[in-house]
Structure 1
C-alpha cells in the first residue's frame, strides 16, 4: 500500500472503531437506566432506612458505611476518608402538646443540636417576645422569661402561600396583603435589631435569664413546610412549631389566655466524633493519574430525610458509578466519586478533599456535581474557564437529544464561589461543573425543610440525569485531550457591584465544628 495513503486509512479506521465503541457503551448506559434502574431501591435504603444525615450524627456514619458496602457489592473500590471532627448529636422523639386552655397535639420538632428535656417533660406557660423599643427596654423585660417558653418569631399574617393569594384574591386584595406582609416583616426585624443582639445572642440571653425553652416558626412560605436548621441554645430546648400551631399559641398568649405547653424533646450528645467523605474509584488503565469525578454531598439537615438535598444527587452518582463499572470497567482515566460531608456547614468535606489531595486536583480532567433537587438538568455553565465550551459541547454531543436539548449552556460562564461542592474545586482552579436542575419548587418545599422526603423524588427525571452524568464521564475519560484550566479573561460583570467578576479564593475547611 502507498505509505501516503496508510496514515489517513489508519486514522479513519481508528475513528470508526472509536465511534462504534462509543455508540455501544452509550446505548448500554441508556438501556440499563431504562430497564434496570436501581434508583428506587437505593433511595429507599438511604432515605427510609438510614434517614437524614446530619453531620456528626450516627446516621451520617451509617450512611457512609452503607455506601462503602454498596460499592463493594458492585465490585467498586470505596472507603471512608476522615477529614475532620464534629459535635456528635442524635435526634430523639419530639412531642409538643397544648394543655391549656384546651388540649391539642401540636406539629413541631426540636432543631438540630437542641439540648434535650433530660427525660422529663417541660410544662410551662408560653409568652411572646414583645415589641422592643430599645436595648434598655429589652433588658428590663428579660426577667419575665424565667420558667417560661418564649416565642421569638414573627407571627405570620396568613399561612397561605403567596401563590394561593395571587390565584384567588382580587388584584387589590393581593396587593394589600403583600404590603401588609412586607410592613409586618420589616417591623419585626427592626424590633429584633433594637434588642442589640443577633439571633444567636438573643437565644442565649433568653436562656441565661432562666427561660424553660424557646419556640420559633421558620415558615418556608408553602403549605405545611418549615425550614429546620440548628438550635442556638446550649442548655434549654429550641423547637420549631408549624405556622398554624405557632399562630395558635401566639394568639392565645397575646390575648391573655396564658397557653401552657408540655414539651418532650429527647436527644443524645455523643461528644466529639470523626466525620468522613466516602470516596469510590474505578481505576484508569491508560492514564490512571488523570481523574474524572462525580460529586454530590452526602450530609443533610434533619428535618425530614434529606431526599432532594441531596439524596437525589447521591443516588444519581451511585447509579452512574454502578453502570459505568458494568459497561466501562477499564476506563482510560480514573473515575472517582466524592460523597462529601458537612456541605451544609460550608462545603467542609470537599474543601478538605481539595486541601488533602493536590495531585488529584491538579490532574482533574473534569468534575460533575449535582445538588439542587430532583429535577432534570437544565443548565451547565463553563464556570469561567476559557476552554469549557470546547469540552462540554463535545461531551454533550454524545448525550441523547431528548436529554441534551433541554440543557442550556453558557460560556465561559461565571466561576462558582459557593452554593455547592463544585465551588471548592473551581476556587482551586480545577474544572468543577454544576449540573443544575429544574426547580420542582425546591426552594420552598424541600430545601432544608420538614417535607424533604422520599415521596418528593421524581425518579424519571433522576434517571435522565444518570444517563447524562454517565455519558459525560465516559466522554471526558475517553477524550484524547487533557482539559485546560486556563481562566477566561472576559468574565461577566457582577450585577451587584457593577465590576467584573473576580476568581474566588480557596477557603479552608472547618475541621472541627459544632463544639
Structure 2
C-alpha cells in the first residue's frame, strides 16, 4: 500500500510539474506562465506609452492641471477653494466619459491662518517671513513680544529648559531628510510649551531655500499648553542662530490671527472604468485634491491627482477595458493626516479582499525612475516583471517600500501598495510653500509619469489572477 501511495504521489508531482497547488487541489500558474502572460501585454504597453508620450494625449495631464490650478488656486481643507475644486473635477470626470463618477462625503478640519506678522526688534529691525502651521492657535490680538532662544535639536532644548521659559523658541534644526526632520514641525510647539515657551518658530523643512517659509501640519497634545507656532525661512533661522552663538540678544514680535472652525463637509471624488470580468475587484489609483493655502498646489498634489486621472483617460481612449475595475480616487484632507482616506477606508474595508492593489502618487511628478512597492515577495516578483514593459521609456526599477498617507490604511492590512518614484531632489525646495506652482511642473516628465501609472494599473487590473498576498 505504501508503494502504491508513492507511485500516486510521483504521478501527481509529474502532472503538476512547475505548478503550485491551491488548498482545493487546483493548480496555480507557475512564474514562467505569469511571465508569459505579462509579456503578452507588450503591444498594449507600447500603445499606452506612445499615446501618452508622443501621441494625441501628449502634455494633456499638464494642460489639464494648468487650467485647474490657474482657475482654482490653492485648496486648503475646509475652504471655498477646495469646494470649487471638487465641483470642477466632478464635472471634468463626467465630461471625460468615465464611469460611476460620484462624490463620497467626508468631514474635514477647517483652519484658517488669518493675518500673520513677525519682526525682529533687537538687535536690529528685520521683517521675518513666516507661515503659520496647520491648527496653530492665534497670538493675543496685540501679539507676543519676547526674547528668542535658538536651539538645534530637542535635546538642546531640554538641556536648556530653564532658559526657555517665557521665550520664543527658534528651532534651527539641520535638514537631514524629510521623514526625520519633519518631527520638528510636527512636535516643535509641544516640546517648546513643555519648557514654558510662549511661541515656537521652526526652520522650514526644506533642503534648499530662497528666503521662503514652508507650512505644514503640526499636532498639539491634550496635556500640554497650546502655543502659537509658525515656520520661518532657512535663512532667518540660520541668521538668528549665528547671532545667538555670538551672545547677541534677539527680541521678536509675533502676531498671528489663526482660527479653527468646526469640521466642514467635503468629498472624496471617485471615477471608474468598470471591469469586464471581475467588476467587484478593484485596482485603485489616486492622488489628493486638497493642498495647503499657499502657491497653487500644482506639485503637491495636483500632479499626482492629474496623472491618476490621465491613467484612466489613456486606457479609455485606447478602447481598453480591463477585467477588474480601475478606480480613480481623488482624496480630500490628506494634508491634515489623511482624513478623507481614513473615512474611505472605514467605509470600504469590509470589501478589502477585493482590493487588488492601492496606488498613490504624492511625491511629485518629476522624471520617473520606477515604482515603490509594498507586498509579498511573490507579488513583488510579478510587479518587477510588469515594470519590464516600461523599458521603452527606461522606467523599470522596483523599490522596497511604498509611501502614501492615503493608502497606508490598506497596506497595513496586507493589501499590496505602490507609489510613483521619481527624481525627488527638488521636491522639498517647493513643498508647502508659495513656490508650489505650475512653474515647477514639466509636461514631458508628466507624460512619462502618466505612462507608468497607466501601464502598471492596467496590466494588474487585466491579469487573470489578483496579486498574491
Question: Normalising to structure 2: TM-score of the pair?
Answer: 0.72
Residue 282 of structure 2 corresponds to 291
Match of 2:233 among 235, 242, 256: 242
> 1:366 is matched with which residue: 338, 357, 361?
357
User: Match for residue 143 of structure 2?
Assistant: 122
| Structure 1 segment 36-115 matched on structure 2, within 5 A | 36-76=58-98, 77-83=100-106, 85-98=107-120, 102-115=124-137
Report the Cα offset of residue 393 of structure 1. 5.1
Conserved? CA contact 2:78–2:108, under 8 Å: yes
Task: State the alpha-carbon separation in 2 of the partners of residues 137 and 330 from structure 1.
Answer: 63
2:456 matches 1:469:
no
Change (3 A) 1:437 1:32: same
Provide structure 1 residue ranges, at least 5 long, that are not aligned to the other structure. 1-14, 163-188, 193-197, 487-515
**Residues 116 and 472 of structure 1: is their aligned pair in 2 closer, same or farther, counting only changes over 3 Å?**
same
* Shift, 1:273, TM fit: 1.9
* CA drift at 1:478: 3.2
Deviation string 1:427-447 (CA, Å, 9 cap, x unpaired) is: 3332322232232333x4244
Q: Give, in whole Å, the separation in 2 of the partners of 1:140 and 1:388.
A: 55
CA pair 301-252 structure 1, distance change in 2 beyond 3 A: same
| Corresponding residue to 1:201 among 190, 203, 209 | 190
CA deviation vs aligned residue, 1:264-283 (integer Å, no higher than 9, x gap): 53444322223432221222
Q: CA deviation at 1:292?
A: 2.3
3-state SS of the aligned residue for 1:220?
coil
Q: Determine the structure 1 residue equivalent to 2:392.
A: 402
CA distance, structure 2, for counterparts of residue 94 and residue 457 of structure 1: 29
Q: Is the 8 A contact 2:315 2:321 kept in 1?
A: no
- Which residue, out of 371, 374, 380, partners 1:383? 374
> After superposition, what is the alpha-carbon deviation per residue over 1:152-206, rounded to whole angstroms, capped at 9, x for unaligned?
32487xxxx99xxxxxxxxxxxxxxxxxxxxxxxxxx9xx9xxxxx744344457
Aligned runs of 1:149-160 on 2, under 5 Å?
Answer: 150-154=168-172
Distance 1:396 1:135 in 2: 49
Do the aligned partners of 2:334 and 2:340 also contact (CA within 8 Å) in 1? yes
The SS at the match of 1:357 is helix
Structure 2 segments unaligned to the other structure (5+ residues): 1-36, 177-182
TM-score by length of 1: 0.66
What is the alpha-carbon distance in structure 1 between the residues aligned to residue 276 and residue 45 of structure 2? 20
How many Å separate the matches in 2 of 1:384 and 1:200? 36
Q: Between Structure 1 and Structure 2, how many residues are aligned?
A: 414
Aligned equivalents of 1:286 and 1:21: distance in 2?
A: 21
- CA distance change for structure 1 residues 230 and 473 in 2, over 3 Å: closer, same or farther? closer
Shift of 1:462: 1.5
Q: Counterpart of 1:336 in 2: which secondary structure?
A: strand
Q: CA RMSD in A?
A: 4.1
> Are the aligned partners of 2:66 and 2:438 in contact in 1 as well (CA < 8 Å)?
yes
Verify the 8 A CA contact 1:72 1:78 in the aligned structure 2: yes
Alignment CA distance shift 1:116-1:41 (3 Å): farther
Change in 2 beyond 3 A, CA 1:67/1:91? farther
* Alpha carbons of structure 1 residues 395 and 237: separation in structure 2 relative to 1, 3 Å: same
1:344-363 alpha-carbon deviations (Å, 9 max, x no partner): 45444334333322465322
Does the 8 Å contact 1:374/1:440 carry over to 2?
no
Question: 1:457 — aligned with what?
Answer: 441
Q: Who is 1:167 aligned against? A: none
Change in Cα spacing, 1:354 to 1:33, as seen in structure 2 (3 Å) is farther
